[in-house]
Amino acid sequence: MPSPLSNIDLVEKIKDALKDRFAIDVTKVDENSRLRDLGVDSLHVLEIMLDMESELGIKLEDLSVPPNPSLGEVAAAIERNMAPSV
């Protein structure tokens, strides 16, 4: 299993994906930024999550996020998938 990343590390990786995939200026983006406010729709969120799956070498079993998620909420969804099963 890959080593766990902090929520802050995941937010930074998501910001990198937003910048690389959608050419979004992320200089003023933080974990509270709503993706819809950045022009990112639900399909784009899915693309970002699948990018993270590939980059982190994990399998995202649960891709659910709230409507109009923040970067922090997307990071939390990814983090849930990285948590060891008990």
Cα–chain center distance at 5: 12
**Amino acid symbol at 59:** K
Burial (0-12, 13-18, 19+ Cβ within 10 Å), 36 = middle
> The pTM is what?
0.83
Residue ranges of domains in the chain, CATH in brackets: 7-82 (1.10.1200.10)
Dihedrals phi, psi of 34, to nearest 5 degrees: -85, 135
Per residue in 13-57, pLDDT (tens digit) is 999 999 999 999 999 999 999 999 999 998 998 888 888 888 888
pLDDT at 3 over 70: no
pLDDT at 85 over 80: no
